[in-house]
């Protein structure tokens, strides 16, 4: 792990923010991102002041999926190492999906491959109209294994079959129609929409929200 942070964690009152901060590679994730993101959500889980978390990305993209350089290294590793990396990613998705506080996805740009998994595990995903989405794993000869349970819950098996098998790009409006995101708004309205949702969530009882989330899992 190098000395550069790949995930930024900020808190302000009752709001926590977790941000992918590798804009130079469109916020592609690698083992370091997985570790830092895991730590971020564990930290916010135990922060009694934080009641809502916003997940977003720096720069023009939300998350471009797995870093190809990291994937090449993993591919050349032993089977056990590959399995360990997959389990760590799967555990991270579960940590976010089962997080006891509401998680809003602020989808500021492209969500590609595994990046769509981070969209699917949020409670409410708000996409900028300029955002694009793609389950592009098949284009490079892999399968969307870790993200599939959450995507299927979001969009249903029929649409998941189409999206997984074709790897086609989806507009924000089509992602909204499919149920992958909850709202698609003009780019200039993204923050106002997210902030409005935060206010709604903060006006509700935190224990009631936690139990509602458990009922839905």
Residue written as tokens 């190492």? 81
Q: What is the rounded CA–CA span in Å between residue 153 and residue 128?
A: 22
Catalytic residue among 85, 137, 157, 162: 137
Q: Where are the alpha helices (DSSP H) in the chain?
A: 31-46, 68-75, 79-97, 114-120, 148-155, 157-166, 172-178, 190-202, 206-216
H/E stretch holding 184? strand 183-185
Active site residue 137: yes
Q: What angle do CA 140, 148, 137 make, to 5 degrees?
A: 10
Q: What is the rounded CA–CA span in Å between residue 98 and residue 180?
A: 18
Q: What is the rounded CA–CA span in Å between residue 44 and residue 147?
A: 22
CA distances, 35 to each of 96, 148, 210 (Å): 13, 21, 25
Residues marked active site are found at: 137
């Amino acid at each position: 792990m190098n000395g550069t942070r790949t995930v930024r964690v900020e808190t302000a009152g009752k709001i926590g923010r977790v941000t992918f901060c590798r804009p130079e590679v469109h916020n592609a994730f690698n083992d370091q991102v997985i570790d830092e993101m895991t730590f971020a959500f564990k930290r916010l889980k135990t922060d009694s002041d934080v009641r809502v978390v916003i997940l977003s990305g720096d720069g023009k993209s939300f998350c471009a999926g797995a870093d190809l350089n990291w994937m090449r290294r993993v591919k050349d590793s032993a089977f056990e190492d590959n399995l360990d990396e997959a389990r760590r990613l799967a555990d991270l998705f579960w940590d976010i999906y089962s997080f006891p506080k509401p998680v809003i996805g602020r989808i500021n740009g492209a969500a590609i491959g595994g990046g769509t998994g981070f969209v699917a595990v949020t409670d409410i995903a708000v996409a900028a109209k300029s955002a694009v989405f793609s389950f592009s794993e098949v284009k490079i000869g892999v399968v969307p294994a870790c993200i599939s349970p959450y995507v299927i819950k979001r969009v249903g098996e029929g649409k998941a079959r189409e999206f997984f098998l074709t790897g086609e790009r989806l507009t924000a409006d089509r992602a909204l129609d499919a149920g992958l995101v909850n709202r698609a708004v003009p780019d200039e309205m993204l923050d106002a929409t997210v902030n409005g949702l935060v206010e709604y969530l903060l006006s509700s009882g935190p224990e009631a929200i936690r139990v509602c989330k458990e009922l839905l899992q």
